[in-house]
């Protein structure tokens, strides 16, 4: 059973080359400056990531300033993405905002480092 890691709204992460890597489900509900990688990554409505988000599944309700790399990318109506999206499958709800390019890539996968 995979546990979910939640990084909540009262935190702010910043620094040079900061990364979060998870083998399971990861939810970001805070301001985070750095790269995020996990099997399933959710950027919540209050979440803001400045960096690259990568995962098998990437669900965005908040804001990403940087790129997305994922097999299944789901942008919900409250999503705001500034950067390129590399995906195998892309779902965009009405109201989601994208400033960047969307590229269909057959061999995209996330690279989760062993920790």
- Reported as a single tens digit per residue, the pLDDT across 5-14 is 666 666 666 6
The whole domain housing 45 covers 4-104
Domains: count for the chain: 1
The mean pLDDT of 72-84, rounded to a whole number, is 97
pTM for the complete prediction? 0.83
The proportion of the chain whose per-residue pLDDT surpasses 90, expressed as a percent, equals 65
**Residue 109 domain-assigned?**
no
Asked if residue 112 belongs to a domain, the reply is no
The residue among 31 and 111 whose pLDDT is bigger is: 31
Write out the E strands in the chain: 4-7, 12-13, 19-21, 25-28, 31-33, 35-43, 48-50, 53-60, 63-65, 68-75, 80-82, 85-92, 97-99, 102-104
pLDDT bin (cut points 50, 70, 90) of residue 91 is very high
């Amino acid at each position: 059973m995979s546990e979910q890691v939640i990084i909540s709204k009262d935190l702010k992460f910043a620094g040079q080359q900061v990364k979060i890597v998870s083998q399971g489900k990861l939810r970001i509900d805070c301001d985070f400056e750095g790269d995020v990688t996990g099997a399933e990554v959710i950027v919540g409505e209050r979440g803001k990531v400045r960096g690259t988000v990568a995962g098998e599944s990437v669900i965005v309700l908040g804001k990403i300033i940087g790129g997305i790399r994922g097999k299944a990318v789901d942008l919900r109506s409250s999503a705001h993405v500034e950067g390129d999206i590399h995906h195998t499958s892309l779902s965009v709800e009405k109201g989601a905002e994208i400033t960047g390019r969307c590229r269909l890539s057959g061999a995209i996968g996330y690279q989760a480092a062993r920790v």
